[in-house]
Chains A and B, each alone.
Chain A
Amino acid sequence: MIAAQHLHKRYGNTQALEDLNLDIAPGEIFCLLGQNGAGKTTTINCFLGFVQPSAGKAFINGIDVSQQPVESKKHLAYLPEVVMLYPNLSGLENLQYFSRLAGFRYEKGELLAFLQVAGLDEAAALRRVSTYSKGMRQKAGIAIAMAKRAKTLFLDEPTSGLDPKASNEFAQLLKTLAQDGVAVLMATHDIFRAREVATRIGIMREGKLVAVHQADELTANELEKVYLETV
């Protein structure tokens, strides 16, 4: 569902991505670990078509991203690290706007339901985003990603602004989505959350995917040890 074949990305003399091969099946959650600058965000950018790979191909649902950038986006949803949205609009209005851009015209009740599932009640949904905390904006972002009903989901540090409870709820939500057959690629620093939610965990270093582990084969402590030894 999400596939990379020999992906390379070079910026001048820096190799941001080197021979990345990846295949994430429906229902699978793949977590990318690695230090800042290891190439996690570049990988996601390649799948989103925001970065043109120097070599290799990225596929979403079998569609070559660089060949059909707009078509490929119909099959993906994306949650950036920092979700700012439009401060002058309410959470509901933001969700409605982004959903319409993706081609979905939901009723108000449906929109509120998405926000509810993402962790924003109706009172919060009707407030302007300028009054939201970082966590609340992140939840609105999650609702936007879910409302796209895409087969693949790309997450860049999605839990960075969430408190432990919200982070836990988010993990449960991800598992539910995966059970429905969504393929998830998530870049994160949160080793424990990754261990808990992921099917597979990849560790990146200097643009290379240096190790891939089945999440259920390791405890969190073992994973941390492996991670520290790898990076």
Chain B
Amino acid sequence: MTVITIARQELRSIVRERRFQVAALVLSALFALSLYGAWDYYASLKRQHTEAARIARNQWDNQEPKNPHSAAHYGTYVFKPVYPLSFFDRGIDAFTGNTLFLEGHRMNEAQHRAIADRGELARLGVLTPAFVLGILFPLFIIVLAFNTITGERENGNLRLLLAQGVQPAALFVGKGLGLGLAVLSLALPFLLVGSVGLLLPEVEQQHWIRYGLMALAYLVYLGCFVHLALIVSALVRRANVALVALLGLWILMCLIAPKAAAEYAAWKYPTPTRQSYQKAVKKDLEEGVDGHDPSGEYSKKLEQETLKQYGVSTVDSLPFNWDGFIMQKGEEHETYVFQKHKDKLLAIYQQQQGVLETAALLSPYLLVNLSSQRLAGTDVHTYHNFLAAAEKYRVELIGELNNDLMLNFKYGDWKGTRDRAFFASNKKFEYEGPDLVQAWRVSRPSLVLLAGWYLLSGFIGLLILQRIKPV
């Protein structure tokens, strides 16, 4: 009961204050601006990618008649899907290539990183709804809450409150609740309006659930800052010191921690340089069949084994086209090598993510940031899921072409061609992205840690407040 009374009073007091009104107005204006920018970004990106994917497939379907293996060299493009929640949180989207060229013999890297087209300033962050909620909103909380306890102490009301028989812990819960309601009065409308991105046509239901979890994560995150503000306000005797301390914490947690954690992860688990990576791949490639070099060491060995297996003496006596067979064997070796090195790289990325999660214990911003990206589908996992799907498709498409060469063409017949009807019948790239279950599995650790942060900071706050003395 006392808790409710304190909460109501706190809320009433905050809402009547000029600084709340001004700060809420500024924050709302920034949020509206971020929504406008997000809409612009999302709508145009979605249009571009849909259009580009259509053109790429059209080019494949309508290519000039050619030999199926020539078509493998002709290649095709696939594009990273644009998920509806990238509207809210762009995550690492700007830093990852969005276009992948698929061709025979090699696994390419994704091209066209959006960040490459932008100035250095873009690296500081873009005004997205996620930025407003994750970085700017805590500032709003700090402005509201820095003197919650110091103010009561400085004006002597703390003495009066405690003399009235209020349990100090009730003060923490009540004030936390009041501040929480003031925060909700702004954050809830933001989160409701922020869901406009989901109103676009063809948005799957799972994105609504993802957004619900994201919204919850942001609210818990803001709750962490309410706790932090109360703790600092209770520990520090003067309001101006509390303000400076909280701003310092904000700089550490929201601005420095993300960069420092990423730097540390990259230092602890370094990724190989591009040169050394390509050198290692090249070395491994040379130790296997090359479909374009039938007289090579490994090709000759494969030839001997195959002839023996089928009991024939020359490759043109084989029941299939040797060219197609060796081409596919070469492809399989190449795929194996690329995949092996890619897996090593992925393992390093995985370790780096682990470091980020551990470092996130120091900053709830890292946790909400990871959770938000993972739920929005703009995180590392979702990106690699796309790359893996694209690679799987590449292997199937090239396999389909080599198989056609092997079964339907004569040995040595490099002049034979396939026409549009064949290419149009080739497997299409149909990729939906990770489903809700996968997204939940990936985002669960950071969500659980975030909830832990909230509970632990609340518990510490209670302990500290319980010992507070007004003199």
**Residues of A bordering B, CB below 8 Å:** 45, 48-51, 70, 73-74, 76-78, 80-86, 88-89, 93, 97-98, 100-103, 141, 144, 148, 154
State in angstroms the CA–CA spacing of A161 and B363 once bound together: 48
Q: Give the residue name and chain of the A residue nearest to B471 (CB).
A: A50
Are B163 and A78 closer than 8 Å at their CB atoms?
A: yes
Question: B75: CB under 8 A from chain A?
Answer: no
Are B16 and A88 closer than 8 Å at their CB atoms?
A: yes
**Residues of B bordering A, CB below 8 Å:** 2, 5-6, 9, 12-13, 16-17, 155-157, 159-167, 469-471
State in angstroms the CA–CA spacing of A86 and B8 once bound together: 13
- The smallest C-beta distance from A50 to any residue of chain B, in angstroms, reads 5
For A51, A82, A101, A154, which residue has the most chain B Cβ atoms within 10 angstroms? A101
Are B17 and A148 closer than 8 Å at their CB atoms?
A: no
Are A78 and B13 closer than 8 Å at their CB atoms?
A: no
Are A101 and B167 closer than 8 Å at their CB atoms?
A: no
- The smallest C-beta distance from A144 to any residue of chain B, in angstroms, reads 7
State in angstroms the CA–CA spacing of A188 and B155 once bound together: 20
- The smallest C-beta distance from A24 to any residue of chain B, in angstroms, reads 17
Q: Give the residue name and chain of the A residue nearest to B469 (CB).
A: A50
Partner of A50, one of B13, B166, B470: B470
Task: List the 8 closest A-B pairs by CB distance, nearest first.
Answer: A84-B155, A78-B163, A73-B165, A88-B16, A101-B164, A102-B164, A100-B5, A50-B471
State in angstroms the CA–CA spacing of A80 and B162 once bound together: 12
For A45, A89, A97, which residue has the most chain B Cβ atoms within 10 angstroms? A97
State in angstroms the CA–CA spacing of A212 and B334 once bound together: 102
Q: Give the residue name and chain of the A residue nearest to B4 (CB).
A: A100
Are A73 and B13 closer than 8 Å at their CB atoms?
A: no
Q: Give the residue name and chain of the A residue nearest to B8 (CB).
A: A97
Given contacts A50-B469, A50-B470, A88-B16, 8 further A-B contacts (CB under 8 A): A45-B471, A48-B163, A50-B471, A77-B163, A101-B2, A101-B5, A102-B164, A148-B164
- The smallest C-beta distance from B171 to any residue of chain A, in angstroms, reads 10
Partner of A83, one of B156, B161, B166: B156
Are A50 and B162 closer than 8 Å at their CB atoms?
A: yes
- Which residues of chain A come closer than 8 Å to B166, judged between CB atoms? 101
- Which residues of chain A come closer than 8 Å to B471, judged between CB atoms? 45, 50-51
Count of A-B contacts judged by CB separation below 8 Å: 69
- Which residues of chain A come closer than 8 Å to B162, judged between CB atoms? 48-50, 73
- Which residues of chain B come closer than 8 Å to A76, judged between CB atoms? 163
- The smallest C-beta distance from A113 to any residue of chain B, in angstroms, reads 19
The 17 listed contacts between A and B (C-beta, < 8 Å) are A45-B471, A48-B162, A50-B159, A50-B471, A78-B160, A78-B163, A80-B156, A80-B159, A83-B160, A85-B157, A89-B12, A89-B13, A98-B160, A100-B2, A101-B161, A141-B160, A148-B164
- The smallest C-beta distance from B211 to any residue of chain A, in angstroms, reads 36
- The smallest C-beta distance from A65 to any residue of chain B, in angstroms, reads 12
Question: Assuming the A-B contacts A50-B470, A80-B156, are A98 and B13 also in contact, with contact meaning beta carbons closer than 8 angstroms in the complex?
Answer: no
- The smallest C-beta distance from B152 to any residue of chain A, in angstroms, reads 9
- Which residues of chain B come closer than 8 Å to A144, judged between CB atoms? 160
Are A101 and B6 closer than 8 Å at their CB atoms?
A: yes
- The smallest C-beta distance from A156 to any residue of chain B, in angstroms, reads 9
Q: Give the residue name and chain of the A residue nearest to B170 (CB).
A: A101
State in angstroms the CA–CA spacing of A80 and B157 once bound together: 9
- The smallest C-beta distance from B99 to any residue of chain A, in angstroms, reads 57
State in angstroms the CA–CA spacing of A84 and B159 once bound together: 11
- Which residues of chain B come closer than 8 Å to A45, judged between CB atoms? 471
State in angstroms the CA–CA spacing of A97 and B6 once bound together: 8
Question: Assuming the A-B contacts A50-B470, A50-B471, A89-B12, are A103 and B165 also in contact, with contact meaning beta carbons closer than 8 angstroms in the complex?
Answer: yes
State in angstroms the CA–CA spacing of A227 and B149 once bound together: 39
State in angstroms the CA–CA spacing of A50 and B164 once bound together: 13
State in angstroms the CA–CA spacing of A84 and B12 once bound together: 17
- The smallest C-beta distance from A45 to any residue of chain B, in angstroms, reads 6
State in angstroms the CA–CA spacing of A82 and B166 once bound together: 20
State in angstroms the CA–CA spacing of A98 and B160 once bound together: 8
Q: Give the residue name and chain of the B residue nearest to A48 (CB).
A: B163
State in angstroms the CA–CA spacing of A190 and B399 once bound together: 101
- The smallest C-beta distance from B296 to any residue of chain A, in angstroms, reads 85
Question: Assuming the A-B contacts A101-B6, A101-B164, A101-B166, are A88 and B13 also in contact, with contact meaning beta carbons closer than 8 angstroms in the complex?
Answer: yes
For B6, B159, B163, B469, which residue has the most chain A Cβ atoms within 10 angstroms? B163
State in angstroms the CA–CA spacing of A141 and B471 once bound together: 19
- The smallest C-beta distance from A148 to any residue of chain B, in angstroms, reads 7
Q: Give the residue name and chain of the B residue nearest to A141 (CB).
A: B160
Are A73 and B164 closer than 8 Å at their CB atoms?
A: yes
Q: Give the residue name and chain of the B residue nearest to A98 (CB).
A: B164
- Which residues of chain A come closer than 8 Å to B161, judged between CB atoms? 98, 101
Q: Give the residue name and chain of the A residue nearest to B157 (CB).
A: A84
Are B165 and A74 closer than 8 Å at their CB atoms?
A: yes
Question: Assuming the A-B contacts A51-B471, A88-B17, A89-B13, are A102 and B165 also in contact, with contact meaning beta carbons closer than 8 angstroms in the complex?
Answer: yes
State in angstroms the CA–CA spacing of A102 and B166 once bound together: 7
Are B163 and A97 closer than 8 Å at their CB atoms?
A: no
State in angstroms the CA–CA spacing of A154 and B160 once bound together: 11
Are B13 and A86 closer than 8 Å at their CB atoms?
A: yes
State in angstroms the CA–CA spacing of A101 and B10 once bound together: 13
- Which residues of chain B come closer than 8 Å to A154, judged between CB atoms? 163
- Which residues of chain A come closer than 8 Å to B163, judged between CB atoms? 48, 73, 76-78, 154
Partner of A97, one of B9, B155, B167: B9
State in angstroms the CA–CA spacing of A1 and B230 once bound together: 37
- Which residues of chain A come closer than 8 Å to B160, judged between CB atoms? 78, 80, 83, 98, 141, 144
- The smallest C-beta distance from B101 to any residue of chain A, in angstroms, reads 63
- Which residues of chain A come closer than 8 Å to B6, judged between CB atoms? 101
State in angstroms the CA–CA spacing of A141 and B159 once bound together: 12
- The smallest C-beta distance from A54 to any residue of chain B, in angstroms, reads 15
- Which residues of chain B come closer than 8 Å to A49, judged between CB atoms? 162
State in angstroms the CA–CA spacing of A73 and B469 once bound together: 15
- The smallest C-beta distance from B97 to any residue of chain A, in angstroms, reads 54
Question: Assuming the A-B contacts A70-B165, A89-B13, are A78 and B156 also in contact, with contact meaning beta carbons closer than 8 angstroms in the complex?
Answer: no
State in angstroms the CA–CA spacing of A144 and B164 once bound together: 9
State in angstroms the CA–CA spacing of A103 and B167 once bound together: 12
- Which residues of chain A come closer than 8 Å to B16, judged between CB atoms? 88-89
State in angstroms the CA–CA spacing of A85 and B164 once bound together: 13
